Amino acid sequence: MKAFDYAAPASLPEAVGLLASQPSARLLAGGTDLLVQLRSGRKDADVVIDVKKIPELNEISFNPADGLTIGAAVPCYRLTADAAIQSHYPALVEVASWIGGTQIQGRASLGGNLCNSAPSADSIPLLIALGATALIAGPAGRRSVPVDEFCTAPGRNQLAPGELLVSIQIPAPAPFSGAAYLRFIPRNEMDIAVVGAGASVTLSNGVISAARVALSSVAPTPLFVPAAGESLLNQMPTAEALEAAAKIAQEAASPISDMRGTAAYRRHLCAVMVRRALELAVARAQEIN
Amino acid sequence: MSTTTYNVIGTRPVRHDGADKVTGRALYGADLQLARMIHGAVLRSPHAHARILRIDTSKAEAFPGVFAVVTAADFPEAPADKIVDFGEGDTMLSSLRGNILASGKVLYSGHAVAAVAAVNAHVAAEAAALIEVDYEPLPCVLTAPEAMAPGAPILHDDLPNGNVAELIRYEMGDLDAGFAEATVIVERELDTATVHQGYIEPQNATAFWSSDGRIHIWCSTQGSFVARDASAAVLDVPVSQVKVTPMEIGGGFGGKINVYLEPVAAMLSKKAGRPVKLVMSRRDVFTGTGPTPGSRVRVKIGVNDAGKITAAQAWLAYEAGAYPGAMVGPGAMTVFACYDIPNVLIEGFDVVVNKPSTAAYRAPGAPNSALATETVLDEIAEKLGLDPLELRLRNAAQEGTRRADGPRYKRIGCIEVLEAMKASPHYNAPLPGPNCGRGVAIGFWFNAGLPSSATLSVNADGTVNLIEGSTDIGGSRTSLSMQAAEVLGLRAEDIHPTIVDTDSVGYTGVTGGSRTTFSTGLAVHDAAQIVVEQMKARAARLWAVDEVAFSNGVFSANGQSFTFAELAAQLGATGGPVSCSATVNPKGVGGSIAGLIIDVKVDPETGKTDVLRVTSVQDAGKAIHPAYVEGQMQGGTAQGIGWALNEEYFMDTAGDMRNGSYLDYRMPTALDLPMIETIIVEVPNPGHPFGVRGVGEANIVPPLAAVANALYRATGKRLNRVPMNPATILGL
């Protein structure tokens, strides 16, 4: 690892100012991706800007009207311990507890997971299913981008030079709604998703009134499949309906073969994992409220 | 079965190094700090097979903070036909040296090409990246069947049979007549992937080449004397010029017998005039050290109506990696080692391929071949409608059984292990539900003898210092201390073991071959007996008698008695301290049989295997420290299950390993396995005073086949390749 300069701004304006003068700087929250990439030579850095000391990036806030705001540097262990998240976003607690092991969760953040923009990112399909948006700050001020549009290629995203992620905003859960993220790994922990599936479902009088489906590890970016969710609208959540939605998601996938699985196996898993995620989301929608 | 009663042996004292290990005080190679020490980095080949046209180190040498750069050109030339043997079999010196730093050609992706020493590891890595190497890439070959095919790229011009470095053939009886007697014949071919031992601690070495010519090496090694002798051979200096201090070792499993960094650190130190430390990254460990061979094994077994095996044939091709020396010999010798078979033909091929040069891994070669034998037997048992353990019992090797490679067994515990499996609570419990299957298999490992030395010094307070040279991987400080304590009538806690450098103890072979508790244990036993004799003589002098008895730690004669401690306090007044040494080179090695029962559940939609219940059974001869024996059984089982289910070197077509990290190599974690139940069988080895056989290895032999057999029962499919991962279970 080459030597680099390190800065830890204490406010968002200071960070934006620093970034304006060092547009190639690497941003560090927990560092669980960046430091590994620097050590292995996959990335290099002249300047690293640590965003952990910025108060706004460390906030978690929830209210029933606006929903949930998660600061970009909030580590996973704070999400899993948060009472409001436990009660309103149980799937988010699961995802935060699956990213790395206990030590990693003390550092790793959902903001970092989003900005690392890996096709296999565990949190992104769920954030897409939940309809989350990314709040971005930069030299031109602030802007919001839907998470389903945030990633543009493996390791690439909508952040322009000089911009940084401030927070992830998730709408308040609708009554009779549920969400889930499931990933397939050959082991029980500490692995990268061969296929991941996020799903959310809202029921009105037992009929599906809203649904969103997204996949990980089957395309160059986490993949939002609007048609899968739309196919469920005005349907009862029957096994056939969920299976049909899962097939639509499977058709949208364009997996590759690599050391984590063959394309054929991933394609097969798409249908299995989406169906199972939908089943869990429906069960949650039926049990709460 | 073992009937002798002991005071210390068979108990479970706290390990002597426990406090150091759990408090982090134990010193591993990477912890070492020396005055004026500098740090190194190794440049490795990105090509699996290429000619080196030019190496230009000038930019690296000019880089600020760099002290020295070395390539193969800095090492003495290896005579073309010089053979070296460090107790583990013959090796060509040219292969050993060629693997340390490539010259002429690189033979695998990860092959070391050059090394740099600099003020710190980061500067060294930056400078290493400035070394210019011009390669002429050559076609690569990555599997044994491909390497044996006509027209395959050839790795070494000097091998007589293309890429086949050695051909092994064992024959016994009349094979055709044997198969003619059979009523059921099954033949299957199974492949295994290259896998790594997966020790936690990466290889490391620190060396200081003093201006007086003395070379001091600190490293993580399974054998300090082997590391000394191999380093001396590579550096072409007398062994007495090298001193190796073994640091604590974070796992080896056979992979830390060979030297990789030691001679490089020494040569860098010679050039720099300072101590140089080299530490591998995890990727270096995967691509630059020795995994165990991938293999193709074909086995054909014929059985008559009575369930007796009438003939067995095996064909084995093992991937040696870049240099000759796949473990096909032991694979061939163990393939039918559990059974009494009259007519046998075994052919083995040692095949070089463009992968890292393979090394030992826990019963090296045996799991690959047992996979084929034990799955074929499972299929035969099913065809005959026989319980799979019953079929094995009808053919089990016993005292006097002759193996096709020659030896006849002395007392061996094959029947006892099978009976223990059959009687176990696990084997008699029902399976929990659908998609579940139970598999069984057994396996054999020779174990090793080799020389060992030990010194015991009696302290005036009645305790005893034990000086020995076996690096402690699995609790051997304690298992050796317990043997001394048993002879001396003391407690294990009264023995203070220390592992010392190669200048400070007699020659001791590697901690490998399951030999330490056996061989070094014998040295300790013999030294302790000399201590007893000398102590008796002191008591005789004090009491003015001719004969002194010694029993349970008490010396006595004519109604007078001394405890060991009372007599120890009088040594100064009776002629001075007592300090005794013994060096042994034992022949009475006792092989070990192990068996495994495993229950799995397979998700029919994803192909994921959950391991539900596992029972490991092994003949320990005599379990000196039962908890450590159980630990060995559980460790070997865990590694074998990982090998069976998910582990493999995933290579791209260019021979580059794509999963060289623990994230993607997919060893099982603690969350992937249940508590592994253990049943220790004790059929004492007549070749050891306490009956010790050695327990480190046989336990990894059955899991591959046991998992395959369990998967068959769960899914109805017989797969022909390990790892049997979720995608292959679904055929995707």
The DSSP output letter for B28 is B
| A159-170 average pLDDT score | 96
pLDDT for the residue A190: 87
**Residue B491 shares a structural domain with residue B594:** no
Q: Please judge whether B663 and A261 are an interchain contact, meaning their C-beta atoms are less than 8 angstroms apart.
A: no
Q: Which residues of B touch A44 (CB under 8 A)?
A: none
Contact (CB, 8 A) for B619 and B634: no
CA distances from B128 to A24, B66, B132, B270 (A): 26, 10, 9, 18
- One-letter amino acid at B199 equals Y
B568: pLDDT strictly greater than 80 = yes
The 10s digit of each residue's pLDDT in B227-249 is: 999 999 999 999 999 999 999 99
Least confident of A171-175, A204-208, B22-26, B74-78: B74-78
| B605-623 average pLDDT score | 98
pLDDT for the residue B484: 98
Identify any residues that bridge with A143 across adjacent strands, giving them in sequence order.
A136
The sign of the CA dihedral B100, B106, B112, B114 is positive
| B708-717 average pLDDT score | 98
Query: Per-residue confidence at A276, pLDDT binned at 50, 70, 90?
Result: very high
Query: Per-residue confidence at B1, pLDDT binned at 50, 70, 90?
Result: low
Contact (CB, 8 A) for B664 and A192: yes
**Residue B312 shares a structural domain with residue B431:** yes
B513: pLDDT strictly greater than 70 = yes
**Residue B309 shares a structural domain with residue B419:** yes
CATH code (residue B284): 3.90.1170.50
B2: pLDDT strictly greater than 80 = no
pLDDT for the residue B407: 96
Q: How far apart are CA B525 and CA B468, in angstroms?
A: 12
pLDDT for the residue B651: 96
| B547-575 average pLDDT score | 96
**Residue B429 shares a structural domain with residue B418:** yes
The 10s digit of each residue's pLDDT in B134-153 is: 999 999 999 999 999 999 99
Q: Please judge whether B664 and A268 are an interchain contact, meaning their C-beta atoms are less than 8 angstroms apart.
A: no
A90: pLDDT strictly greater than 70 = yes
Question: Which backbone phi and psi does B166 adopt, to 5 degrees?
Answer: -155, 145
Whether B674 maps to a domain, the answer reads: yes
| B74-90 average pLDDT score | 84
How close is the nearest chain A Cα to the Cα of B667, in Å? Answer: 9
**Residue B434 shares a structural domain with residue B572:** no
Whether B165 maps to a domain, the answer reads: no
Domain boundary among the residues B560, B584, B608 is at B584
Query: Per-residue confidence at A289, pLDDT binned at 50, 70, 90?
Result: very low
Q: Which domain holds residue B547?
A: 18-25+449-584
**Residue B552 shares a structural domain with residue B644:** no
CA distances from A115 to A48, A78, A152, A197, B355 (A): 15, 19, 11, 19, 36
**Residue B459 shares a structural domain with residue B435:** no
SS3 string, B342-366, reads: CCEEEEEEEEECCCCCCCCCCCCCH
Domain boundary among the residues B552, B584, B616 is at B584
DSSP sequence for B79-131: PTT-EEESSS-EEEHHHHHHHHS--SEE-STT-EEEEEEESSHHHHHHHHTT-
Whether B194 maps to a domain, the answer reads: no
| A160-165 average pLDDT score | 95
pLDDT for the residue B90: 82
Q: How far apart are CA A270 and CA A278, in angstroms?
A: 12
Contact (CB, 8 A) for B336 and B312: yes
Report the share of chain B in percent with pLDDT over 70. Answer: 99
CATH code (residue B550): 3.30.365.10
The DSSP output letter for B71 is E
Between B3 and B120, name the one with better pLDDT. Answer: B120
**Residue B321 shares a structural domain with residue B460:** no
Query: Cα angle vertex B25, ends B24, B27, to 5°?
Result: 105
Q: How far apart are CA A133 and CA A170, in angstroms?
A: 7
Query: Per-residue confidence at B556, pLDDT binned at 50, 70, 90?
Result: very high
pLDDT for the residue B89: 74
The whole-chain average pLDDT of chain B stands at 97
pLDDT for the residue A236: 97
Report the Cα–Cα distance between both ends of chain B, in Å, rounded.
48
The 10s digit of each residue's pLDDT in B235-291 is: 999 999 999 999 999 999 999 999 999 999 999 999 999 999 999 999 999 999 999
The token pair at B202 is: 């990466």
Domain boundary among the residues B569, B584, B599 is at B584
**Residue B457 shares a structural domain with residue B539:** yes
Whether B185 maps to a domain, the answer reads: no
A186: pLDDT strictly greater than 60 = yes
Whether B149 maps to a domain, the answer reads: no
**Pairing mode, strands A223-224 and A207-216:** antiparallel
Domains, in order of start, for chain A: 5-170 (3.30.465.10), 177-287 (3.30.390.50)
Q: How far apart are CA B561 and CA B493, in angstroms?
A: 23
The sign of the CA dihedral A215, A217, A218, A220 is positive
Question: Which backbone phi and psi does B488 adopt, to 5 degrees?
Answer: -90, 0
| B414-419 average pLDDT score | 98
Report chain A's C-alpha Rg in angstroms: 19
The DSSP output letter for B697 is S
pLDDT for the residue B80: 77
The 10s digit of each residue's pLDDT in B357-408 is: 999 999 999 999 999 999 999 999 999 999 999 999 999 999 999 999 999 9
pLDDT for the residue B428: 98
Question: Which chain A residue lies closest to B672 (C-alpha atoms)?
Answer: A188
Place of tokens 């009886």: B173
Q: How far apart are CA B552 and CA A39, in angstroms?
A: 59
Mutate to test the interface with A, among B601, B671, B729, B732 (most CBs of A within 10 A): B732
**Residue B82 shares a structural domain with residue B206:** yes
DSSP sequence for B577-645: --EEEEEE-------EEEEEEEEEEE-TTT--EEEEEEEEEEE-SS-SSHHHHHHHHHHHHHHHHHHHH
Between B84 and B230, name the one with better pLDDT. Answer: B230
Nearest to B658 among A3, A190, A258 (CB): A258
| B475-493 average pLDDT score | 98
DSSP sequence for B279-329: E--HHHHHHHS--BPPEEEEEEEEE-TTS-EEEEEEEEEEEEESSS--THH
Other C-beta atoms lying within 10 Å of the C-beta of residue B558: 10
**Residue B473 shares a structural domain with residue B608:** no
B87: pLDDT strictly greater than 80 = no
A256: pLDDT strictly greater than 70 = yes
**Residue B283 shares a structural domain with residue B340:** no
Whether B145 maps to a domain, the answer reads: no
| B86-101 average pLDDT score | 88
Whether B121 maps to a domain, the answer reads: yes
The token pair at B60 is: 């690296």
Query: Per-residue confidence at B587, pLDDT binned at 50, 70, 90?
Result: very high
Q: Please judge whether A186 and B725 are an interchain contact, meaning their C-beta atoms are less than 8 angstroms apart.
A: yes
Q: How far apart are CA B512 and CA B392, in angstroms?
A: 29
Q: How far apart are CA B447 and CA B466, in angstroms?
A: 24
Residues of B annotated as catalytic (active site), given as ranges = 697
How close is the nearest chain A Cα to the Cα of B252, in Å? Answer: 23
Contact (CB, 8 A) for B479 and B411: no
Query: Per-residue confidence at B586, pLDDT binned at 50, 70, 90?
Result: very high
Interface of A with B (CB under 8 A): 1-3, 40, 184, 186-192, 194, 258-262, 264-265, 268-269, 272
Q: How many CB pairs under 8 A join A and B?
A: 56
B78: pLDDT strictly greater than 90 = no
pLDDT for the residue B86: 82
Domains held by chain B: number: 3
CA atoms within 13 A on the CB side of A61: 10
Whether B188 maps to a domain, the answer reads: no
pLDDT for the residue A288: 57
Of B471, B526, B524, B475, the C-alpha closest to B502 is: B471
DSSP sequence for A102-168: HHHHTT-BHHHHHHHT-TT-SHHHHHHHTT-EEEEEETTEEEEEEHHHHEEETTEESPPTT-EEEEE
The DSSP output letter for B40 is E
| B697-714 average pLDDT score | 98
